[in-house]
């Protein structure tokens, strides 16, 4: 290695320090040596190679190795060649010279981006650019080197087979085709099929030539009078008896096999015209696609030939016999023909509010104790509780269990009717412990019968009978007796709150004479605030005359003196 500083060797190498002393002073260490100082910087994958992999006698320049006078040449770092083939085997066996860097780089051997095929005798164009190198460049024999030179390329047939099998011997491939794509023929040589007896239309334009001209011989005549000359009968002869003998063009066109030309209008000429919602059903829903096994002549005498019995045999008996049409039409399955008039012919005629109830409210999944997904239409239990929950939770079981003359139980109808749930005309309150009298007759049931705090169920039998259970004590317990309860009936009755029935003669101040016609609040005027509300207190009320009339009381003239 030449000293870049032009200094003497002793500036780096010391002498007379013993045989085992290292003459090279690595700065900062051998592994961290700056290889750029040698004129051959280590880049790419070379940067990770150990020193001893390259610095060996086998990789030395022969002239330098001959001049090296050492007992152990392997310990020297001198004379290493910078040519690739000094370390690496020539994979191309001399075909492409010794300058590997013309095609390859130190980052990746397989990445031959430096190679420019356009500078060869066969520039790559069109789809050839996308072809992998090994598709064309292969070994002459197994295990041998890949050939890169002296390859034949004058004719396409040097690499490609003739798909036309010699039908165009007088033409070259490039007369019709280009490297841009085999199927993209040159306009000047594009074959005009419209000038033949069979012009290509619709989807036929997209079909490759070889699909019809399988032999590659385009001069060989082909049959084309019928579709079946080229296509198999996918319907397996089901339409052979039709006037056109099953010719495809009767239902299909070259623009596309689907959709079929056989629509609702054509179906009307068959034994089963499509009406209502059937007209919107896709063909494949009835004629299930199965290739040659697809059936077009299907059964249609009964709805169940196509449809499952949605009612699970509930109408298998007379008079319906599992026929759908007595209740349904093709216009809409859900709009039933089973009217209220027909419902009257059943064992459960619709009356009152039941008339306005939609079918789905009663006939729904889970009703009548069914645990499957079938909607029930036959109910064994036709009592109210068969559909409705008992909101009274058995409070009136004794009334419900009573029987009519025909032996049937009254049930909920002991009090209610289908006319209105709220209308309980059937319930006689006079037979209870609390007959309704006076204004109580006009009070709504729910004003007295309410749910207890924290509960949802309304109580009926446990409803209190005393006034204060429903009414607030407007007197703030002035008249409370035992246990702090006030008996309103002492002064009032159910007919009306005012006037009071209070008997003043039983007090310390019986009303006599002119006092009898005086309004109560003329004497009882003491107002106190109780719980934030003003309350008229009747006790204590003064008994002395001057408390109301003042100290000077003028005598009222008698009738006798007035006449005088």
Q: What is the pLDDT of residues 50-71, one digit of tens each?
A: 998 999 888 888 888 888 776 6
Average pLDDT over residues 27-51: 89
pLDDT score of 1 more than 60? no
Longest Cα–Cα distance of the chain, Å, equals 179
pLDDT at 40: 92
Least confident of 455-469, 517-531, 536-550: 455-469
Tell me the average pLDDT across 165-182. Answer: 83
* 459 alpha carbon, distance to own chain's centre: 46
* Share above pLDDT 70 across residues of the chain, in percent, rounded to a whole number: 94
pLDDT at 3: 55
Spatial distance between the Cα atoms of 511 and 508, rounded to a whole number of angstroms? 10
pLDDT above 50 (res 562): no
Q: Is the pLDDT of residue 294 over 50?
A: yes
Whole-number pLDDT of residue 561 = 41
- The verdict on residue 2 lying in a domain is no
Lowest mean pLDDT across 129-138, 242-251, 509-518, 553-562:
553-562
Between the alpha carbon of residue 214 and those of residues 164, 166, 220, 354, the distances in Å are 9, 13, 10, 75
pLDDT for res 297:
87
Domain assignment present for residue 483? The answer is: yes
Q: What is the mean pLDDT of residues 460-469?
A: 86
Split into its structural domains, the chain has a count of 1
Q: Enter the DSSP assignment of 181.
A: B
What value does the mean pLDDT take over residues 348-352? 94
Dihedral sign, CA of 307, 312, 317, 319? negative
Highest mean pLDDT range out of 128-132, 412-416, 451-455?
128-132
CA 388 to chain centre: 35
Q: Is 361 exposed, middle or buried (0-12, 13-18, 19+ CB in 10 A)?
A: exposed
Q: Is the pLDDT of residue 4 over 60?
A: no
pLDDT at 481: 81
Q: What is the pLDDT of residue 10?
A: 67
| Alpha carbons 418 and 401: distance in angstroms, whole number | 19
- pLDDT score of 564: 31
Tell me: pLDDT of 5 over 60. no
For residue 489, the enclosing domain spans: 468-508+523-538
Beta-carbon count within 10 A of 52 CB? 10
Give CA–CA dist 541/535, Å, rounded: 14
What is the model's pLDDT at position 127? 95
Please state the separation of Cα 361 from the chain's center in Å. 28
* Band (558; pLDDT cuts 50, 70, 90): low
CA distance 503 to 511: 9
Question: Band of the pLDDT at 440, cuts 50, 70, 90?
Answer: very high
- Closest of 449, 447, 485, 451 to residue 468, by C-alpha: 485
Pairing, β 526-530 against β 533-537: antiparallel
Return the DSSP state at 448.
H
Residue range 212-264, pLDDT digits in tens: 988 777 778 899 999 999 998 888 888 888 888 888 998 999 999 888 899 99
pLDDT recorded at residue 509: 93
- Give residue for tokens 């005086």: 518
User: What's the CA angle centered on 150, arms 148 and 152, to 5 degrees?
Assistant: 100
In a domain, 40, yes or no: no
Report pTM. 0.45
pLDDT value, residue 70: 65
Distance CA 81, CA 91 (A): 18
Write the pLDDT tens digit of every residue in 485-500: 888 888 999 888 888 8
**Tell me, what's the pLDDT at 246?**
84
CA–CA distance from 536 to each of 26, 524, 542 (Å)?
117, 7, 15
pLDDT confidence bin for 315, thresholds 50/70/90: very high
| pLDDT for residue 497 | 86
């Amino acid at each position: 290695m030449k000293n870049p500083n032009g200094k003497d060797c002793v500036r780096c190498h010391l002498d007379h320090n013993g045989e085992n002393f290292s003459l090279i002073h690595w700065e900062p260490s051998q592994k961290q040596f700056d290889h750029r100082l040698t004129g051959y910087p280590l880049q790419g994958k070379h940067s990770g190679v150990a020193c001893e992999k390259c610095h060996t006698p086998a990789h030395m320049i022969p002239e330098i190795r001959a001049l090296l006078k050492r007992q152990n040449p392997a310990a020297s770092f001198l004379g290493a060649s910078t040519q690739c083939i000094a370390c690496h085997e020539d994979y191309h066996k001399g075909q492409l010279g010794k300058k590997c860097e013309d095609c390859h780089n130190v980052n990746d051997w397989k990445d031959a981006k430096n190679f420019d095929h356009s500078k060869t005798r066969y520039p790559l164009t069109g789809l050839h650019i996308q072809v992998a190198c090994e598709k064309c460049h292969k070994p002459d024999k197994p295990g041998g080197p890949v050939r890169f030179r002296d390859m034949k390329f004058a004719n396409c047939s040097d690499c490609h087979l003739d798909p036309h099998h010699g039908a165009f011997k007088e033409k070259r491939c490039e007369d019709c085709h280009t490297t841009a794509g085999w199927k993209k023929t040159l306009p000047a040589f594009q074959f005009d099929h419209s000038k033949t007896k069979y012009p290509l239309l619709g989807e036929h334009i997209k079909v490759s030539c070889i699909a019809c001209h399988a032999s590659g011989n385009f001069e060989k005549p082909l049959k084309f009078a019928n579709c079946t000359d080229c296509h198999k009968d996918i319907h397996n002869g089901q339409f052979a008896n039709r006037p056109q003998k099953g010719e495809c063009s009767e239902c299909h066109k070259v623009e596309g096999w689907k959709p079929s030309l056989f629509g609702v209008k054509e179906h009307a000429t068959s034994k089963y015209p499509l009406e209502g919602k059937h007209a919107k059903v896709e063909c494949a829903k009835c004629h299930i696609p199965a290739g040659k096994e697809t059936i077009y002549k299907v059964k249609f005498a009964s709805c169940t030939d196509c449809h499952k019995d949605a009612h699970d045999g509930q109408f298998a008996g007379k008079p319906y016999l599992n026929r759908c049409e007595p209740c349904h039409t093709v216009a809409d399955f859900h709009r039933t023909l089973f009217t209220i008039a027909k419902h009257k012919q059943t064992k459960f005629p619709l009356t009152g509010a039941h008339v306005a109830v939609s079918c789905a409210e009663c006939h729904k999944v889970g009703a009548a104790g069914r645990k499957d997904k079938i909607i029930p239409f036959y109910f064994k239990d036709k009592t109210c509780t068969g559909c409705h929950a008992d909101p009274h939770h058995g409070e009136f079981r004794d009334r419900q269990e009573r029987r009519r003359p025909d032996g049937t139980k009254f049930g909920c109808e002991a009090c209610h009717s289908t006319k209105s749930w709220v209308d309980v005309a059937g319930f006689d309150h006079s037979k209870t412990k609390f007959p309704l009298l006076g204004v109580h007759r006009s009070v709504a049931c729910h004003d007295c019968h309410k749910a207890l705090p924290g509960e949802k169920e309304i109580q009926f039998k446990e409803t209190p009978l005393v006034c204060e259970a429903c009414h607030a004590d407007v007197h703030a317990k002035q008249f409370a007796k035992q246990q702090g309860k006030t008996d309103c009936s002492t002064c009032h009755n159910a007919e009306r709150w005012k006037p009071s029935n209070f008997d003043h003669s039983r007090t310390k101040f019986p009303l006599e004479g002119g006092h009898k016609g005086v309004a109560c609040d003329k004497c009882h005027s003491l107002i106190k605030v109780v719980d934030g509300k003003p309350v008229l207190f009747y006790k204590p009320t003064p008994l002395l005359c001057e408390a109301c009339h003042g100290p000077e009381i003028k005598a009222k003239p008698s009738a006798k003196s007035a006449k005088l």
